[in-house]
Amino acid sequence: MIAAQTTTPTQPRFPDLRAFLTWAETCGDLRAIAEPVDIRHRMTAVHERVLQAAGPVLRFDHPLGADGKRTSMPVLCNLFGTTRRVAAGLGRHPDQLDELGAFLAALRSPPPPEGLRDALSRWPMLRAALMTRPRIGGAAPAQQEVLEGDAVDLGMLPVQTHWPGDAGPLITWPVVLTRPHGSAPEALALYNAGIYRAQVLDRTRLILRWLAHRGGAAHHRGWQRHGEAMPVAIALGADPATLLSAALPLPETVSELSFSGVLRGSRPHLVPARSVPMLVPANAEIVLEGWVSARETAPEGPFGDHTGYYNAAEPFPVMQVTAITHRREPLYLSTYTGRPPDEPAIIGEVFNRLALPVIRAQIPEIRDLWLPPAACSYRMAVVSIDKRYPGQARRVMMALWGMLPQFSYTKLIVVVDDDIDPHSWDDIAWALATRMDPGRDVMLLERTPMDYLDFASPEPGLAGKMGIDATTKIGAETSRDWGAVMRTDPKDAAFAADLVARHLPGLSR
């Protein structure tokens, strides 16, 4: 059952990016940088340092372009540099993320109602579904200024070059909107919204990097089969709900744009694009419109990636930009991707928490799960389980690897008992040292799917996996009597806590 507050945003509602910035400024979480900062490398260096200190949203008011001249368009960075701001973008306080996770689990497998009273208790879910109906037309701040034809120039955007080895300027927070071949522009439920990096080639061309399993790539293949260019719209500086919906691992039957209405607490507002048959977010800062070629590709990269390495240059499709629309005095939203921590890693921490109810629905014995951000968010998982029978840890490993697409790239899973905190490296180390035998408790698999950006893989896209059973061994798993864990008596612990609080107050925190 989903409680009423699950679908009722408790943060202020953010119809656009500017409303979110106003909220951040009210919270003392926005800083304007008046000093000119170069968009080549240095802006990323500042952003990286501030993010690692859990610092505020940054607004660079005087970016220096590649020619050394000041640009008139401010750059926003570090929008989701803390889990608190990610939760706010989802319309929640951090302590309410579990409720949103339960709602996402119900979207994947809605439980049948048990009578009229139960059906009525789920009205909040029904209300949230109604919010997903779009509002189409009306005034669009994103189209206050329209550039078409010879006026199109991607050089007007202060697009960063993030790392010294990068191939050139890279757009890093684009919400790329596509639809399948043969669909109507108004068929919002069929749209895909994805975050795909976009390399600027020249004044009017971009390279869109989407992997084969992503929604945008699937749509593009459909247009390719008919030999037709695909219409595409890219929203830059969308509202937080749209940005995060595009990044969430939603069920394939749920439209990201529609779901943004659930997070935002209001219906999505879209308008027809000016030069392509697409709908676009009315409240975005900037919208790029154009066509992705059915045949033309260009080498994308190399660029610094989430692994902390530069990925190799590879061919990806080219987009011809036919129009740029934007607000008056627009803001350009940017981020960087690199070795964690970065913004994707911070967002991943929150998304992992949201995914836990979905995982528990399929594997009920799981009590908690941690994907360490330092391990590139998904390359390693630590799972605590309620262990009841021999071989259970191995069954959980196999179930995780086959359950969600992102776990197919998890190369190491460590399973621990539910008395171990899977978020604590000290607890994990103790479990590995005292409950795991390398000759018995390590499971190795070969030639399984892997992110092709993983340079440790023997072959691109194929690699091994390791599962480590660091649980207490029971039944047929061991022939020895297992030792008893040492624990302080609860009464003694309470006495100690009281004494320390009275006599050593500095230690009682």
Joined together, the tokens standing for residue 86 give 């990610």
Residue 495 falls inside a structural domain = no
Residue 162 falls inside a structural domain = yes
pLDDT at 180: 97
pLDDT at 70 over 90: no
State whether 395 and 288 are in the same domain.
Answer: no
Residue 356 falls inside a structural domain = no
Q: How far apart are the C-alpha atoms of 43 and 8, rounded to whole Å?
A: 37
Between 229 and 110, name the one with better pLDDT.
Answer: 229
State whether 189 and 241 are in the same domain.
Answer: yes
Q: How far apart are the C-alpha atoms of 218 and 210, rounded to whole Å?
A: 9
Number of domains in the chain: 2
State whether 322 and 237 are in the same domain.
Answer: yes
25 membership: H or E segment, kind and range? helix 17-26
Query: Hey, which residues are catalytic here?
Result: 305
State whether 312 and 394 are in the same domain.
Answer: no
Residue 17 falls inside a structural domain = yes
Query: Can you point out the beta strands (E) in 408-454?
Result: 412-417, 442-449
Q: 445 pairs with which residues across the strands? A: 465
DSSP, residue by residue, 76-129: EE-TT-SHHHHHHHTTS-GGGHHHHHHHHHHHHSPPPP-SHHHHHHTHHHHHHH
Residue 241 falls inside a structural domain = yes
pLDDT at 1 over 80: no
pLDDT at 144: 98
Q: Average pLDDT of 258-273?
A: 91
Q: How far apart are the C-alpha atoms of 291 and 249, rounded to whole Å?
A: 26
pLDDT at 120 over 80: no
What CATH number does the domain containing 269 carry?
A: 2.30.110.10
State whether 297 and 214 are in the same domain.
Answer: yes
pLDDT band at 505 (very low <50, low <70, confident <90, very high): confident
Residue 497 falls inside a structural domain = no
State whether 65 and 152 are in the same domain.
Answer: yes
Give the distance between the most distant pair of CA atoms in the chain. Answer: 80
Query: Pick from 264, 286, 302, 340: which is nearest to 75 by CA?
Result: 286
What CATH number does the domain containing 427 carry?
A: 3.40.1670.10
CA angle 286, 298, 319 (to 5 degrees): 30
pLDDT at 461: 85
Q: What is the dihedral of CA 272, 278, 283, 286, to 10 degrees?
A: -110
Task: Residue 448: give the domain boundaries.
Answer: 363-477
Q: 229 pairs with which residues across the strands? A: none
Residue 91 falls inside a structural domain = yes
Neighbours of 113 (CB within 10 A): 13
pLDDT at 122: 56
Q: How far apart are the C-alpha atoms of 151 and 146, rounded to whole Å?
A: 9
For the stretch 198-213, pLDDT in tens is 999 999 999 999 988 8
Between 13 and 200, name the one with better pLDDT.
Answer: 200
224 membership: H or E segment, kind and range? helix 215-225
State whether 320 and 212 are in the same domain.
Answer: yes
Joined together, the tokens standing for residue 305 give 């990636």
State whether 238 and 376 are in the same domain.
Answer: no
Joined together, the tokens standing for residue 434 give 């005292």
Q: What is the pTM of this model?
A: 0.89
State whether 254 and 313 are in the same domain.
Answer: yes
Residue 349 falls inside a structural domain = no
State whether 381 and 329 are in the same domain.
Answer: no
Average pLDDT along the chain: 91
pLDDT at 6 over 50: no
Joined together, the tokens standing for residue 28 give 């003392």
AA letter at 70? R
pLDDT band at 4 (very low <50, low <70, confident <90, very high): very low
Q: What is the dihedral of CA 331, 336, 337, 340, to 10 degrees?
A: -120
Burial of 439 per CB tally in 10 Å (0-12, 13-18, 19+): exposed
